[in-house]
């Protein structure tokens, strides 16, 4: 590695950008996900260190969404680039784009027919999907939003992100248990989203939560939820990161949605996106 660094330096090139480009090409070959992850390299990655501190937390997801290596040394940044290019990280960024697009369409459709739209996120984390969908839109002040998360750091982080995006006081974040939304919220929301919560719920709990969300929505309201389907580096995630999720096939996920009270159900994701998004509507 140091010999390679010196060679690039003599050529007046940025060694990080050159090696990063080669890593990207290596990932594109498909070999990356078959060889698994290397613990020796993982020990150098600030991203992996954060994953080990808070597996499944909002900060690792924000780092995945940013897709920007960090670290003080070349090897740290290259290690980050390696892991941020993993299958699940790529899938999470696809999920974010799909969710943002769906949300924007849903909000614009409702605002074409009504004065305002109300949105709820359960286990909202950094609320990246809603902030990206609403921030900068000329109709942003017509959206009322509530993000709920058990983690006080996530609540504070999302609040500051919303302010930085120019979103007004109609965006609120509060601590709360996403599995137990109060009855006072019933028939209150036009749109509900939950992207990562269901990855940690048993089937029976997932169906009960779907039924609870059905009650939170107004007639005609819509839910977007997702679950993880596969992970070529599952063993590394579980053994090294202690990041354990429940992996389900797209057919299984659709079956859970059909077992709930929702009347209309459709897939938003492709079957091979690593995460599978489902849109449900209350009639």
Give the DSSP letter string of 70-84: --SSHHHHHHHHHHH
pLDDT (tens digit per residue) in 179-196: 999 999 999 999 999 999
Selection from 247, 282, 240, 246 nearest residue 265 by Cα: 282
260 and 94 Cβ atoms separated by less than 8 Å: no
189-194/217-228 β-pairing = parallel
Query: What is the pLDDT, as a whole number, of residue 122?
Result: 98
Structure tokens at 163: 């302010």
Distance of alpha carbon 283 from alpha carbon 275, whole angstroms = 26
**Alpha helices by DSSP H, 184-249:** 203-216, 234-239
* DSSP element (H, E) containing 121: strand 117-122
Q: Which domains does the chain have, with CATH numbers?
A: 2-85 (no CATH), 90-281 (3.40.50.150)
pLDDT (tens digit per residue) in 9-52: 444 455 556 666 666 666 666 665 555 566 778 889 999 999 99
Q: State the maximum Cα–Cα separation within the chain, in Å, rounded to a whole number.
A: 67
Residue 81 CB-density burial (10 A; 0-12 exposed, 13-18 middle, 19+ buried): buried
Distance of alpha carbon 34 from alpha carbon 23, whole angstroms = 15
161 and 124 Cβ atoms separated by less than 8 Å: no
Count CB atoms within 10 A of the CB of residue 249.
Answer: 13
pTM of the predicted structure, to 2 decimals: 0.88
Distance of alpha carbon 264 from alpha carbon 200, whole angstroms = 24
Q: What is the pLDDT along the chain (283 residues), one digit of tens a residue?
A: 433 333 434 444 555 566 666 666 666 666 655 555 667 788 899 999 999 999 999 999 999 999 999 989 988 998 999 999 999 999 999 999 999 999 999 999 999 999 999 999 999 999 999 999 999 999 999 999 999 999 999 999 999 999 999 997 789 999 999 999 999 999 999 999 999 999 999 999 999 999 999 999 999 999 999 999 999 999 999 999 999 999 999 999 999 999 999 999 999 999 889 999 999 999 9
CA atoms within 13 A on the CB side of 211: 10
Share of the chain above pLDDT 70, in %: 87
Structure tokens at 214: 């059905």
Selection from 206, 202, 210, 189 nearest residue 261 by Cα: 210
């Amino acid at each position: 590695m140091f010999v390679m660094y010196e060679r690039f330096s003599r050529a007046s090139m940025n060694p990080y950008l050159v090696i990063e480009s080669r890593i990207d090409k290596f990932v594109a070959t498909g070999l990356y996900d078959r060889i698994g992850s290397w613990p020796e390299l993982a020990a150098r990655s600030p991203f992996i260190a954060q994953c080990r501190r808070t597996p499944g937390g909002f900060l690792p997801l924000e780092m995945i969404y940013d897709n920007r290596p960090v670290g003080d040394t070349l090897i740290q940044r290259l290690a980050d680039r390696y892991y941020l290019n993993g299958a699940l990280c790529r899938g999470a960024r696809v999920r974010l784009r799909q969710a943002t697009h769906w949300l924007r369409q849903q909000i614009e459709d409702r605002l074409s027919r009504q004065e305002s739209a109300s949105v709820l996120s359960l286990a909202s984390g950094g609320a990246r999907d809603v902030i990206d969908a609403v921030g900068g839109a000329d109709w942003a002040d017509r959206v009322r939003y509530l993000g709920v998360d058990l983690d006080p750091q996530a609540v504070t982080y999302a609040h500051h992100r919303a302010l930085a995006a120019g979103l007004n006081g109609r965006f609120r974040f509060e601590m709360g248990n996403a599995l137990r939304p109060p009855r006072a919220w019933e028939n209150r929301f036009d749109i509900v989203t939950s992207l990562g919560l269901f990855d940690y719920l048993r089937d029976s709990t997932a169906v009960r939560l779907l039924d609870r969300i059905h009650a939170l929505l107004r007639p005609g309201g819509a839910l977007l939820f997702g679950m993880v389907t596969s992970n070529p580096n599952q063993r590394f995630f579980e053994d090294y990161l202690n990041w354990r999720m429940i992996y389900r096939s797209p057919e299984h996920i659709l079956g859970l949605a059909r077992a709930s009270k929702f009347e209309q159900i459709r897939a938003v994701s492709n079957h091979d996106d690593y995460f599978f998004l489902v849109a449900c509507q209350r009639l």
